[in-house]
Amino acid sequence: MAKSMAVLGTGAIGSSIGADLTNAGYDVILIDQWPAHVEAMKANGVRIKMKEEEFVAPVKAFHLCEMKDLHKAPMRQFDIVFLTCKSYDTTWLVEFIKPFLESDGVLVSVQNSLNDEWISPIIGRQRDIGCAFELSADVFEPGRVTRNTDRVVTKFVLGELDGKVTPRVQEVAQVLGKVGRTQVSDNIWGAKWTKLVFNSMVSTTRAALDASKQVMQQPEVLDLVVKLGRETAQVALAQGVTLEPILGLKGEDFAGLSNELFRKYMLQVFRDTGERSTSMIQHDVVKERLTESDYINGVVARKGAEAGVPAPANRAMAMVMKQIDEGVLQPGLANLKVLQQYMSEKAAAM
Could you give all domains of the chain from N- to C-terminal order, each with its CATH number? 4-186 (3.40.50.720), 201-349 (1.10.1040.10)
15 contacts 48 by C-beta, under 8 angstroms:
yes
Map residue 30 onto helix, strand or coil: strand
Does residue 282 surpass a pLDDT of 50?
no
Does residue 284 surpass a pLDDT of 70?
no
* pLDDT confidence of residue 288: 62
Does residue 347 surpass a pLDDT of 80?
no
pTM over 0.85? The answer is: yes
In the chain, what percentage of residues exceed pLDDT 90?
77
* pLDDT confidence of residue 286: 52
Mean pLDDT value of segment 328-347: 89
Mean pLDDT value of segment 249-262: 81
Does residue 285 surpass a pLDDT of 60?
no
* pLDDT confidence of residue 276: 46
In sequence order, which residues have a C-beta less than 8 Å from that of residue 159 and are 6 or more positions away?
Answer: 129, 130, 131, 165, 169, 184, 185, 186, 187, 188, 191
* pLDDT confidence of residue 110: 98
What span, in angstroms and rounded, lies between the C-alpha atoms of 338 and 350?
19
What span, in angstroms and rounded, lies between the C-alpha atoms of 272 and 165?
34
Mean pLDDT value of segment 80-86: 97
Q: What's the pLDDT band for 2 if we cut at 50, 70, 90? A: low
Query: Of 118, 114, 153, nearest to 131 (Cα)?
Result: 114
* pLDDT confidence of residue 252: 82
Query: What mean pLDDT is reported for the chain?
Result: 90
What span, in angstroms and rounded, lies between the C-alpha atoms of 95 and 77?
14
Q: Is 260 exposed, middle or buried (0-12, 13-18, 19+ CB in 10 A)?
A: exposed
* pLDDT confidence of residue 53: 94
Q: What's the pLDDT band for 348 if we cut at 50, 70, 90? A: very low
Does residue 261 surpass a pLDDT of 80?
yes
Does residue 271 surpass a pLDDT of 60?
yes
Q: What's the pLDDT band for 280 if we cut at 50, 70, 90? A: low
Mean pLDDT value of segment 171-186: 98
In the chain, what percentage of residues exceed pLDDT 70?
92
Lowest mean pLDDT among 37-46, 76-85, 116-125, 208-217: 208-217
Lowest mean pLDDT among 86-90, 168-172, 186-190, 206-210: 206-210
* pLDDT confidence of residue 254: 80
What span, in angstroms and rounded, lies between the C-alpha atoms of 336 and 33?
35
What span, in angstroms and rounded, lies between the C-alpha atoms of 313 and 339?
8
* pLDDT confidence of residue 273: 63
* pLDDT confidence of residue 266: 82
Mean pLDDT value of segment 260-287: 64
